[in-house]
Structure 1
Amino acid sequence: MVVPVPDQDPAVPVPDPGTTSEAFPETRARAATGEGPVEAGFPIGYVGVRWSGARAATGGGIRLTGADGVRGPWQPLTGTGCPDGGDGGALLFSADGASGYELRAPDGAVDLRSLAVDTTRGPLREVAVPRDTTRVRGVAYLTRAAWGADEKLRFRSDGKEISPQTYHPFQTVTVHHTATKNGDADPAATVRALYHVHAVTNDWGDIGYHYLVDEGGRIYEGRYSGEGATPAHDDDGKLVTGFHVLSHNPGNLGIALIGNLVKQGPTAAARTALTDLIRSVVRMHGVDPEAKVTYVNPTTGRKREVHEISGHRDYMATECPGEVMYGELAALRKAVASG
């Protein structure tokens, strides 16, 4: 938000007094189809890979080209990442500054697409960020501005919003993992990369999750929901529709833990933040976190018997939210209920 200042050129707005200006790198990206090889023209932070057909990444691989032009060894594309669709898979692979890459398609995969993304080294842009800590029902979180969301990605070149917000009564919570690297030194950069892949490559026009939680316990606002006081909701308390579970998105709040939770659980800080966040949500909506419910898609009538707090794999065949995290969901429900 900006406000005019008397005697100032109106074409040069200044930040709202409640905000401070922070600089974030512009995201640079290069899209490609097929196996490559691909040269990005900039140091690559992540490679987003998406395909149709087979869901699993079996047989798939990637090898990176270093800044010195030397190709590294083939590495497997492991797991299914956190796909939204019933056909195919998606992954975000850490490239650590590589100059290029080459892919090997998973067995049975078709329409292989990739996106090289750099969210840390591009030209800087100024963003107005709230000065004070922002909270949702007592739980601190980073606004979209605070993690550097480029709101232009929500719009097409003609100015039309790609996915205008729709809202429905809250029904349930779904837990995800991003299937990205653990020990992430710059999780905000990872959130920006996920945002770009979701908004541009997937053509969703936004990040698919309502919230994300990093290993340090920081909570990130996800899907844009308007200018209301409560993230993910409109002023009537209805939930903005995200893009995180195929055919079961309206009324379903998605929270993604940043990292790969197939072989390890979340950090203590992430677990605490996730518990506090979900507790604030279920209290806001007056639901029992340990209940079993019938999710009903309000637009299609499609039904699914799930827990009030479920994992992505409760809706479809996917590795998400990771084997270890999925095993912790019963304890998570109890922790939310007991607080």
Structure 2
Amino acid sequence: MVELSRRGLLAALGGTAALLAAGEGSANAAARTFPATVTRNRSLAAGRHRVPVGTAPVTHLSISTNSGAIRTRTAGQWSEWRELATCPAGRDDLPAVTLLPVDPGVVEYELDLKHDSTVSEMDTVNGPALATLASPAPAVPLDGSALRRPYYSRAAWGADEKLRFTPEGVERWPVAYFPVQTLTVHHSAGSVGRDPAADVRAIYYDHSIVRDFGDIGYHLLIDPNGSVYEGRVSGSDWFPVFGPDLQGGKRPLMANAGHVVGYNAGNVGVCLLGHLSETSPSKAAIDSLVVVLAALSAICGLDPLGRTNYVNPISGSTKTVDTISGHRDWLATECPGNRFYPDLPSIRTRVSKLLPK
């Protein structure tokens, strides 16, 4: 196993100086604020519904089903119908939810629902300012070779940490730590809007509040520009994915998250933003994914070309999968997308080539 210090982990996943500066409230942090997410909910029966957006801005729709279709209208023009699709991430066996960005200028949307559903209309851009955004780190380096892509901590993409707590101040989903066994790749199953950080905030609100996880279900997310975003809270420090005791026995301890129902403990989840059955991931996103998976493999002593006999340390459930797997290798889902999934063998090979021999 490659021995990396806590500072070495930070370098592998984000760039030490920039993250420390952001965590300490450095003057280098951009003087930009992030907004609270504003929502309103609608209950709709099965069938077809046309819903005006109204005067309050809507940036994302969370629809409590993945059965049916949606289209949107700008001034006088309807889009094509598209099927509702989702990455069925989850802490428990909860119903699937579809999360979609709404393009600027949309004045109405139409849903063809097969089941009664709840629609949460979100605005992750125009709400009241909460706090100053931290600066992203400048690169994702590995073994001295830097991939020049920003890394956004939770403070840099605008996580409203109050969402993780009840009104009484009780943490909805306390962090638990388990040795890393495997890595799983996802897609978000929705198109990417003009501001990917706003999309990450929407996923966060959707997972934390709408689906009642208590936090975002993925450990790391990657946008089409190759920028990397911190997901699930892992502790009080600035280090993503792992707990305070990085060298927890034979394998580092990761914060338990919610991305593969029944197989989360010991399973690190990395999500590419986009609907990767409709489009292929960008080169920048793939390059960042390879570097992130290589860093995680090195830190955790994983063979990216190997197979893992996974055992859930909570339930005892077992599954044999590729050590770097896709979501569909665990459960019946289209995730991480029909166009992207066939690329996983070549990604494993690229990851392997980056690791020290």
TM-score normalized with structure 2 length:
0.80
Residue 284 of structure 2 corresponds to: 269
Say whether residues 1:285 and 2:300 are aligned partners: yes
> Which residue matches 1:338?
353
37, 42, 47: which one pairs with 2:61?
47
Determine whether 1:326 maps to 2:341.
Answer: yes
Count, aligned residues: 312
Deviation at 1:287, TM superposition (A): 1.2
Instruction: State the partner residue of 1:156.
Output: 166
Does residue 1:90 correspond to 2:97, yes or no?
yes
Deviation at 1:26, TM superposition (A): 2.2
Indicate if the aligned counterparts of 2:72 and 2:79 stay in contact, CA closer than 8 A. yes
1:188 maps to which of 197, 203, 219: 197
Map of 1:105 onto structure 2? 113
Output the CA distance in 2 between the equivalents of 1:281 and 1:18.
31
* C-alpha distance in 2 between matches for 1:251 and 1:235: 15
CA contact (8 A) 2:33 2:130 kept: yes
Mapped partners of 1:194, 1:150: distance in 2 = 12
SS at match of 1:321: coil
Deviation at 1:330, TM superposition (A): 0.6
- CA distance in 2 between partners of 1:322 and 1:131 (Å): 28
Q: Write the distance in 2 (CA, Å) between the matches of 1:215 and 1:16.
A: 28
Tell me whether 1:61 sits opposite 2:69 in the alignment: yes
Match for residue 120 of structure 2 among 115, 124, 128: 115
Cα shift readout 1:253-280 (whole Å, capped 9, x = no counterpart): 0010011111432111110100000100
Please name the residue that 1:5 is paired with: none
Instruction: Name the CA shift for 1:26/1:88 in 2 (closer, same or farther; >3 Å).
Output: closer
Contact 2:136 2:153 in 1 (8 A): no
CA distance in 1 between counterparts of 2:272 and 2:133 reads 26
Is the 8 Å Cα contact of residues 44 and 100 (structure 1) preserved in structure 2?
no
Q: Distance in 1 between matches of 2:125 and 2:343?
A: 33
Superposition TM-score, scaled by structure 1 size? 0.84
Which of the residues 68, 79, 82 maps onto 1:76? 82
User: What residue is the counterpart of 2:219 in the other structure?
Assistant: 210
The range that moved more, 293-302 or 225-234, is 225-234
SS at match of 1:247: coil
Q: Report the Cα distance in structure 2 between the residues aligned to 1:65 and 1:131, rounded to whole angstroms.
A: 35
Deviation for aligned residue 1:18: 6.1
How big is the shift at 1:63?
Answer: 4.4
Q: CA deviation at 1:211?
A: 0.3
**Cα distance, 1:135 vs. partner?**
5.9
Aligned to 2:35: 25
Please point out which of 210, 216, 233 is paired with 1:201.
210
The one of 221, 234, 237 equivalent to 2:243 is: 234
Report if aligned partners of 2:219, 2:268 keep a CA contact under 8 Å in 1.
yes
Separation (CA, whole Å) in 1 of partners of 2:79 and 2:133: 42
Kindly indicate whether the alpha-carbon contact (under 8 Å) linking 1:147 and 1:220 is maintained by their aligned counterparts in 2: yes
Deviations 1:22-81 (A, max 9, x none): 311221111222246655651211111123xxxx52xx1234465x7x794673334x31
1:315 counterpart residue number: 330
Q: Which has the higher contact order (CA 8 A, sep 6+)?
A: 2
Deviation per CA, 1:104-126: give whole Å up to 9, x if none. 223xx45x222111112223332
Quote the Cα distance in structure 2 between the aligned partners of 1:127 and 1:323.
39
Inter-CA distance 154–87: structure 2 relative to 1 (3 Å threshold): closer
8 Å Cα contact 1:312/1:318 also seen in 2: yes
2:183–2:269: 8 Å Cα contact kept in structure 1?
A: yes
Q: Distance in 2 between matches of 1:282 and 1:141?
A: 19
Q: Could you tell me how far apart the structure 2 residues matched to 1:92 and 1:258 are?
A: 12
Structure 1, unaligned stretches of length 5 or more?
A: 1-14
Equivalent residue, structure 2, for 1:7: none
Q: Does the Cα contact within 8 Å between 1:61 and 1:74 map onto a contact in 2?
A: no
Equivalent residue runs for 1:222-261 within 5 Å: 222-237=231-246, 238-261=253-276
Shift of 1:228: 2.8
